[in-house]
Amino acid sequence: MLLDELLSPLLFKTIIGSVKLDITGIHNDSRKIKEGYLFVCTKGAKENGHVYIPQAINNGATAILIEDEQAEYDPQITYIKVPDTAKAASIIVDKFYDSPSRKLSLIGVTGTNGKTTTTNLIEYLLQYKKYRAGVIGTIEIRYPNFKEESALTTPLCYELQQHLFNMVNEKVDYVAMEVSSHSLHLGRVHGCSFKTAVFTNLTQDHLDYHVTMEAYGEAKGLLFSQLGNSYEQAKYAILNSDDPWSERYKQMTSAQVISYGIENKADITATNINIDVSGTSFTLNSPLGEANIKTSLIGRFNVYNLLAAIATVIAEGFTLEEISEACNALAGVEGRFEAVNEGQPFAVVVDYAHTPDSLANVLQTARQLNPNRVLAVVGCGGDRDRTKRPIMANISLELADYSYFTSDNPRTEDPEAILQDMTGHLENDQKHETIVNRKEAIEKAISDAKPNDIIVIAGKGHEKYQIIGTVKTFFDDKQVAREKLHQLGYTV
């Protein structure tokens, strides 16, 4: 695309150099710049992209988007100065890829917990009715003829718009996308036109970034306020009536609201909930009528996730019969209350729970299965919200019979210091121990287990790595558990 066409949506800009250039790509990472690219100089908390201009030019950039005046301008390069490069980038990247989100039905899911499960459930329900669907989220990005492990919950606009463009080419009908509070606050999705916005819940997380729950909640609300006022495409806000933030989001959006819940009045509710080791059943109540739902998903928190997904597809014209049939055939979601079964006389469950609320949900679900004991392996990530560490330890002590406090992804923090944050306030109550090495903690829990116990290995779920310092190494909770079970002589 010619540079002058690419820049046409930008109202205020100062151009130094020729605009008759063919731009072949756009990025803000100088290492990913190729011949003919436009390099975007964005300012982050730690780095200023303007310092990488020489590297970008060396890699082939022919144009540079800047917001800072330069001491020297290369006469062979075109510079475009704008007030805010991040905001401008979202606009021109959308332009570069011909506004792909407007050619898709884009469903954004935000909230503290349940985003991954809900997007996967939405994808599953849509595919059950033979729609071509894609997912962008924490585990991976996938759509017909493509699958790739995710680096971020919500990609930067450069990769995001390219994937949406590719989905259009693959004739995808719907995209279910996890939308993080970071991505909303940083404007990564400014170029996206959402058809539907789904809210799961809001509990403590990411206060290292947002500082206060108010700021965190407001960031989530941007997804609903940015749905827009256009009614050319029907737009919906799917809100959890059991979370008080839903009232705020209801006021923020001009879209039609569909509510779901268990405790409070809602358009779509679940009653007669029954949970056992085989799954969960409940009565679905909706404007379409009632239906009996049986799913392999386990736990009350998964009822919320499924209600959110059901509300989404009801808005897309699904019948109760289609929903009931699809739910009966549903398998689980990787790393979400996922069982590791090698024929042992006790249960081992791996879950991504890494917030106080999600940990409580998982341990409460384990308790509802009437085990002999609940054993919990729990850690907290480094370089993240420190205030939740003692809270998570307290929750584990309250809801589990015994806790093994260990490392998660310590990153650049001292693992011992993280454990001290978690347990420094605790007395030696003989209900817990600390084991810094995560592999050893998992193995110890399995060695200690007795018949009819449930071991919950929390924090990493689907992740296949551990970050210690700045080094990412392979680590899989499920594999560690499976190998220990084999060592003890268990095998299916």
Q: Does residue 348 sit in the same domain as residue 459?
A: yes
Confirm whether 58 is domain-assigned.
Answer: yes
User: What are residue 262's phi and psi, to 5 degrees?
Assistant: -120, -45
Q: What is the pLDDT confidence band of residue 334, given thresholds at 50, 70 and 90?
A: confident
pLDDT digits 0-9 by tens, 396-407: 999 999 999 999
Query: Do 61 and 132 lie in a common domain?
Result: no
Same domain as 384, residue 319: no
Mark which of 278, 298, 328 sits at the end of a domain. 328
* Residues 91, 217: Cα–Cα separation, whole Å: 25
Please say whether the beta carbons of 40 and 6 come within 8 A.
no
What CATH number is attached to the domain comprising 286? 3.40.1190.10
Angstrom distance (rounded) from CA 284 to CA 325: 13
Confidence at residue 340, expressed as pLDDT on a 0 to 100 scale? 94
* Position 283 in a domain: yes
Residue 204's pLDDT band (cuts 50, 70, 90): confident
Asked if residue 183 belongs to a domain, the reply is yes
Distance in angstroms (rounded) separating the CA atoms of residues 330 and 261? 21
Looking at residue 278, its pLDDT comes to 84
For residue 326, which of 121, 115, 76 has the smallest C-alpha distance? 121
State the pLDDT confidence band at 47, using cuts at 50, 70 and 90: confident
In 3D, which of 392, 335, 350 has the Cα closest to residue 405? 392
Q: Tell me if 394 sits within 8 A of 411, measured CB to CB.
A: no
Q: Are residues 163 and 258 in the same domain?
A: yes
End residue of a domain, out of 33, 65, 91: 91
Does residue 333 sit within a domain? no
In this predicted structure, the answer to whether residue 205 has a pLDDT above a threshold of 90 is: no
Structure tokens at 180: 């993080």
Say what the pLDDT of residue 342 is: 96
Residue with tokens 């379409």: 288
- Decide if pLDDT at 312 tops 80: yes
- In this prediction, residue 151 carries a pLDDT of 85
Number of H helices, E strands in the chain: 16, 24
By the 8 A CB rule, do 92 and 13 touch? no
Whether 154 shows a pLDDT value over 70: the answer reads yes
If one counts every other C-beta atom within 10 angstroms of the C-beta of residue 11, the result is 9
Span 290-310, pLDDT tens digits: 999 999 999 999 999 999 999
**Band of the pLDDT at 230, cuts 50, 70, 90?**
low
Number of domains observed in the structure of the chain: 3
Give the amino acid at 43.
Answer: K
- How would you classify the pairing of strands 78-81 and 14-16? antiparallel
- Pairwise CA distance, residues 119 & 129, whole Å: 16
Asked if 299 and 390 sit in the same domain, the reply is: no
111 with 250, same domain? yes
| Whether residue 143 is found in the same domain as residue 257 | yes
pLDDT tens across 412-431, in order? 999 999 999 999 999 877 79
Rg (the chain; Cα; Å): 24
Query: Over the stretch 427-463, which tens digit does the pLDDT of each residue have?
Result: 877 799 999 999 999 999 999 999 999 999 999 999 9
Which ranges in 111-211 belong to alpha helices (H)?
A: 115-128, 157-169, 181-186, 207-210
Instruction: Tell me whether residue 492 is in a domain.
Output: no
Give me the mean pLDDT over the 374-398 stretch. Answer: 95
Contacts of 388 (CB under 8 A, 6+ apart): 204, 205, 207, 355, 356, 380
Nearest CA among 310, 260, 300 for reference residue 280: 300
Tokens representing 324?
């009931």
Domain membership flag for residue 55: yes
Mean pLDDT confidence for 239-243: 98
Contacts of 286 (CB under 8 A, 6+ apart): 267, 268, 269, 310, 314, 320
Domain housing 477:
338-487
Question: Residue 152 pLDDT more than 80?
Answer: yes
Q: Is residue 193 within 8 Å of residue 106, measured between CB atoms?
A: yes
**C-alpha to C-alpha distance for 335 and 116, rounded to whole angstroms:** 10
292 lies in the same domain as 397: no
pLDDT of 231 above 70: no
Mean pLDDT over each residue of the chain, to the nearest integer: 94
Tokens of 356: 């106080």
CATH value at residue 11: 3.40.1390.10
In terms of Cα–Cα distance, which of 8, 34, 30, 33 is closest to 19? 8
pLDDT in tens, 1-21: 999 999 999 999 999 999 999
Same domain, 458 and 352: yes
% pLDDT > 70, the chain: 99
Q: Does one domain contain both 145 and 281?
A: yes
pLDDT at 428: 77
Please give the Cα distance from 384 to 205 (Å, whole number). Answer: 9
Residue finishing a domain among 59, 91, 123? 91
Whether residues 257 and 121 share a domain: the answer is yes
Residue 439 belongs to a domain with what CATH number? 3.90.190.20
- pLDDT at position 88, please? 96
259 and 171, same domain (yes or no): yes
